Amino acid sequence: MTAARLSVHDLAKTYDTGTRQVHAIDKLNFTVEAGELLCVVGPSGCGKTTLLRSIAGLLRPTSGRLEVDGQPVDGTPPGTAVVFQEYGRSLFPWMRVADNIALVLRDNGIRSAERRERVREALDQVGLADTARAYPWQLSGGMQQRVAIARALAYRPRLLLMDEPFAAVDAQTRADLEDLVYRLWRDLGVTIVFITHDIDEAVYLGQRVLVLSAEPARVREEIAIDLPAERDQLATRADPRFIELRTQIQQHIRDSGR
């Protein structure tokens, strides 16, 4: 699996509500290197979801352009998978876990034997090998989100977009899922854009953190996370450098909200 390099040029999105225009993002420029894990943070309502949906091809930007490996894209960039926050709504409750995962593969013309193999491999990667025949509603929230991640992986994405994927689970599950994403990223070398409003999560996971300003969203700051590559929920979060980085980002967000 080769990773994608994504570049965003002068991206803008204005919503027209009928009574007023909301400039959600404007003149947004940044690059995500192939194989990088970039976290995006910013004050609530600053345009993070708008950005992610625009990259995913789910929203049409008002202006600007996206390039994957230097090629302009219109619509969903090739090799892109998305994981949303609402796992409950992203899986079909009447379909078994394996069928939920296989569905996208079938839609992409992948044959049945290969589909089975990919489903097995993806479930294995997220530690859910024995749930293939279960229904999503029989699983906990954290497990359902693992299924959503498995579905993205089965597609073998070159670019994985994650929109506050762990905002709806409890703290322990969240920590486990963060470690899962970090391990998968290191094992698979996929490019990840991870949106979160949780600064600690951004510092814990990211190689780089992009801080967005509020309405319209622009890049306020880019911060390289120079923590050791080996991350650990207790040791990393207690590292004085972690605390420094978190404080620095918090300061930028506070200032950008003014």
User: 5 and 69 in contact (C-beta within 8 Å)?
Assistant: yes
Nearer to ligand ADP, 42 or 142 (CB): 42
Query: Phi and psi of 11, rounded to 5°?
Result: -70, 135
**What single DSSP character describes residue 3?**
P
Least CB distance to ligand ADP at residue 165 (A): 13
> Which amino acid belongs to residue 128?
L
Q: Which stretch binds ligand ADP (CB under 6 A): 15-23, 60-68, 89-97, 183-191?
A: 15-23
3-class secondary-structure state, position 24: strand
| Token pair for 64 | 């600007």
Strand intervals (E) in 69-189: 71-73, 80-83, 159-163
- Is the Cβ–Cβ distance between 185 and 157 less than 8 Å? no
Q: How far is CA 110 from CA 30, 77, 103, 122, 156, in A?
A: 33, 19, 10, 15, 12
Instruction: Answer yes or no whether residue 44 interacts with ligand ADP by CB under 6 A.
Output: yes
Q: At its nearest, how many Å lie between ligand ADP and the CB of residue 31?
A: 20
Taking CB under 6 A as the rule, does residue 151 contact ligand ADP? no
Size of the site for ligand ADP (CB under 6 A): 13
- In angstroms, give the least distance from the CB of 211 to ligand ADP: 12
| Stretch in the footprint of ligand ADP (CB under 6 A) among 4-12, 41-49, 145-153, 239-247 | 41-49
We find the least distance from the C-beta atom of residue 32 to ligand ADP, in angstroms, to be: 18
**Contact predicate 249/202, CB 8 Å:** yes
Quick check: 46 binds ligand ADP (CB under 6 A)? yes
> Which member of 7, 14, 49, 248 binds ligand ADP (CB under 6 A)?
49
Q: Does 82 bind ligand ADP (CB under 6 A)?
A: no
14 is a contact residue toward ligand ADP (CB under 6 A): no
179, 198, 215, 221: which one contacts ligand ADP (CB under 6 A)? 215
- By DSSP bridging, strand 191-195 and strand 37-41 are parallel
> By CB under 6 A, which span of 16-24, 94-102, 152-160, 240-248 interacts with ligand ADP?
16-24
Choose the stretch contacting ligand ADP; rule: CB under 6 A; options: 37-45, 70-78, 121-129, 136-144: 37-45
Q: Does 15 bind ligand ADP (CB under 6 A)?
A: yes
Nearer to ligand ADP, 46 or 150 (CB): 46
Choices 42-50, 69-77, 169-177, 201-209; region in contact with ligand ADP by CB under 6 A = 42-50
Q: Which residues contact 12 (CB under 8 A, 6 or more apart)?
A: 23, 25, 26, 27, 28, 61, 62, 63, 64, 216
Nearest Cα to 239, choosing from 1, 231, 33? 231
Rounded Cα gap, residues 247 and 224, in angstroms: 14
List residues binding ligand ADP (CB under 6 A).
Answer: 15, 17, 22, 24, 42, 44-50, 215
